[in-house]
Structure 1
Amino acid sequence: MRASPTPSADVPVRPSATADVGTANPTPGKQRAQRDPFFDNAKYLAIVLVAIGHSWEPLRSGSRSVTALYTLVYAVHMPAFIVISGYFSRSFRATPPQIRRLLTGVVLPYVVFETAYTLFTRWTDHAPDRAISLLDPLYLTWFLAALFVWRLTTPVWNHVRHPLPLALAIAMLATLSPSIGNDLDLQRVLQFLPYFVLGLSLKPEHFQLVRRPEVRQLAVPVFVGALAVAYWSVPRFDYAWFFHNASADQLGAPDWEGPVMTLALFACSTLLVICFLAWVPRRRTWFTALGAGTLYGYLLHGFLAQGAKSWGWYDPAWVRGPLGEITVTVVAAVVVTALCTPPVRRVFRFAMEPEMRWAFRRDTTELARP
């Protein structure tokens, strides 16, 4: 598998939540009015966790505390992104406008950044012969490939009687199949599928429940307990299970452990996602607008995260101490925040939000409009 050891997240949901999820594309004024600050806040906070998790990767060896925090972050940030992506995909019906947005907002960025990451790693890893393969996602691009597959199958999940149990069964079976190839990182696509289907099954009232004061209060001891368990489990548990990119056999575990871990990790991550969402602000904040740019922060910060290791930024001894770990965390949060800002989005919009009207035929509905 060509992907980096860190499997991270969230596509993030595209800058325009309504456009990304396959609903009708509203006018700019209506789109702003329809945006819920809660979800933009959640996307921004999740992308910050993604960047911080990547920044901690080189610091794990020799630090039990960092490894425990790393495990906790990986248990929540990707599931949170995927649940939100599923929730905003509920109206996908594969109409012509939705297919166009899927191609321009998911497929095109995948092609551009799969190529860019391959060329970048040729330079940083001194591997000039590394081939560009659009079927074998490299580093962060796996999420775009997965989102493409999940969204195309949305009409199926919207019509079956028990979608979540079926998705869990598929994920459990995937852990028993080491023969699943690297094409589109299918192992991750299948193992993360239940979180997407969970998002498809949610309704607005479910998000109202997680915002209740008692849920917010319970979230604190849950996170404290989860961190304690993560610290205890560092020498006893392989956190690679949270990457969902390998079968039980590939992780050196007996086959029966794969389905059991699938259910256990799904329950654990779902609980942590609920606690995470419970503490997401519901009102507009200084970072609410940045939630519209999470795709930019997600795809662009990977170049710095990968390059920092090759450029020796982690080599100084002080970086491995408490001051260095705090500094790395703050720098990661600041960098990904900057990458979500409007100036950066304007520069890279050609690759992430292209119009490309010239590439598509107008459907009959558009032709009928005045």
Structure 2
Amino acid sequence: MTPEAPRPAPAKRRDAYFDNAKYLAIVLVAVAHAWEPVMDGSRATRAAYMLVYTFHMPAFIIISGYFSRSFQARPDQLKRLVSGVVVPYVVFEVAYTLFKRWADEDPHYPFSMNDPIYLTWFLIALFVWRLSTPLWRSVKWPLAVALALAAVGTLTPGMGQSLDLQRILQFLPFFVLGLSLRPEHFQLLRRREVRLLALPVLAGAAVFTYWVAPDVRMGWFYRSTSAVELDAPWWAGPLMTLGLFGCALLLTAAFLAWVPRRRTWFTVLGAGTICGYLLHGFLVKSLDYLGLVAQFPWLAEPAGVIVVTLAAAAAVTLLCTPPVRSALRVVTEPELSWAFRRDVTRLSSGRAGAASSRTSR
């Protein structure tokens, strides 16, 4: 009897935990963005905004770093980096510029590939971070070095004017931390005592942010400017870098501790968070460009803030669904085989099964 040919190993399933985390994080991103036009005059909304802004992007970036651990700058990986990061950056940089020209009645607003508009900064930052992965995987004390670079960034006025380098440096420690994490670190968050401890941590953070909300400048949380540009003494930059990193790490751990491990109704949406991220900005910017809050002042009242919150969460949920991801794949996950050599395309295709099981954003 002729022995059967060995069957190929089945593709590894996506990890439900990380898809759940990505979806919940992108909901927080969208909701926080939607609060921006309606939080003036509301201490509670400003405090909630500050609390969420402390950790929502750090959580997203840590996960991005964790799933970039295997990046070695192989030709097939560079191809995916171009198709999954560079192409969406160019497309949405143009799209947001055109949208601002039309909706904000600013027809002369310039196109600029080196000055990311609104939320496109994350794509160019991810491109730089991922390219630097082999370096961070090679040096001693990578997190300490990344924190030092972030602190130095706060001492350099004007850095954010080119490719948003200020944000690239100030958020860099979270990406490097993600590169340094291993599965067992996330296993620790499953412990019952960690989950219980997360509740008073979140409650204490909420009380603290409500207390300091009127006095803290939000620019610190955006990480897009230096200390001097925030009218602060130079030493405040490195101090806030370390302080905010510690706060973000603590709140991210508390957040991740309560992310469901099992498959839920929203697990499938974790694969489409790049679509939710890139598209929800058009809805949020419409509130600003079209002056909807001025036209409907009730949106800034407590009931209106609740409506805005629910609408933002529902909208980004719809934008993460498989049909939207499929429709947008031509610009978020283009094949681009025509632009690369055949050997690179074959190598990329050969690894596609394995890559499909990983979350790279």
Matching residue of 2:74:
95
CA offset at residue 323 of structure 1?
Answer: 1.2
The alignment partner of 1:137 has SS state of coil
Equivalent runs, 1:185-334 vs 2, <5 Å: 185-315=164-294, 316-334=296-314
2:297 partner amino acid: A
Tell me: higher relative CO, structure 1 or 2? Use CA pairs within 8 A at least 6 residues apart. 2
Equivalent runs, 1:52-91 vs 2, <5 Å: 52-91=31-70
TM-score by length of 2: 0.92
Greater CA deviation, 340-349 or 143-152?
340-349
CA offset at residue 310 of structure 1?
Answer: 2.2
Equivalent runs, 1:163-182 vs 2, <5 Å: 163-182=142-161
Matched, 1:117 2:92: no
The alignment partner of 2:229 has SS state of coil
Alpha-carbon separation, structure 1, partners of 2:41 and 2:179: 40
The alignment partner of 2:31 has SS state of helix
Maintained 8 Å contact 2:39/2:300: no
Matching residue of 1:363:
343
1:340 aligned to 320, 331, 337, which one? Answer: 320
Alpha-carbon separation, structure 1, partners of 2:43 and 2:251: 21
1:124 partner amino acid: A
User: Paired residues, what number?
Assistant: 341
Greater CA deviation, 305-314 or 320-329?
305-314
1:176 partner amino acid: L
- Which sections of structure 1, spanning at least 5 residues, go unmatched? 1-26
The alignment partner of 1:363 has SS state of helix
Maintained 8 Å contact 2:167/2:224: yes
Alpha-carbon separation, structure 1, partners of 2:34 and 2:344: 49
CA offset at residue 312 of structure 1?
Answer: 3.2
Alpha-carbon separation, structure 2, partners of 1:365 and 1:317: 54
Maintained 8 Å contact 1:298/1:336: yes
Matching residue of 1:16:
none
Change (3 A) 1:364 1:351: closer
1:342 partner amino acid: P
Alpha-carbon separation, structure 2, partners of 1:347 and 1:285: 24
Alpha-carbon separation, structure 2, partners of 1:107 and 1:309: 27
Greater CA deviation, 347-356 or 272-281?
347-356
Matched, 1:145 2:124: yes
Matching residue of 1:8:
none
Maintained 8 Å contact 2:84/2:334: yes
Alpha-carbon separation, structure 2, partners of 1:169 and 1:213: 34
Change (3 A) 1:150 1:365: same
Matching residue of 1:18:
none
The alignment partner of 1:90 has SS state of coil
Deviation string, structure 1 residues 44-100 (Cα, Å, up to 9, x no partner): 000000110011001111000000000001001000000000000000000011000
Deviation string, structure 1 residues 270-326 (Cα, Å, up to 9, x no partner): 000000000000000000000000000000010010012222332323222221111
Change (3 A) 1:288 1:232: same
Alpha-carbon separation, structure 2, partners of 1:251 and 1:181: 13
Matched, 1:154 2:133: yes
Greater CA deviation, 103-112 or 237-246?
237-246
Identity of aligned pairs, percent? 60
Alignment RMSD (CA, Å): 1.7
Maintained 8 Å contact 2:270/2:320: yes
CA offset at residue 365 of structure 1?
Answer: 9.5
TM-score by length of 1: 0.89
Change (3 A) 1:214 1:179: same
Change (3 A) 1:364 1:179: closer
Maintained 8 Å contact 2:104/2:290: no
Maintained 8 Å contact 2:160/2:224: no
- Which sections of structure 2, spanning at least 5 residues, go unmatched? 1-7, 351-361
CA offset at residue 28 of structure 1?
Answer: 12
Change (3 A) 1:115 1:332: same
Deviation string, structure 1 residues 194-237 (Cα, Å, up to 9, x no partner): 00000000000000001211111011110010010100001221
Maintained 8 Å contact 2:195/2:258: yes
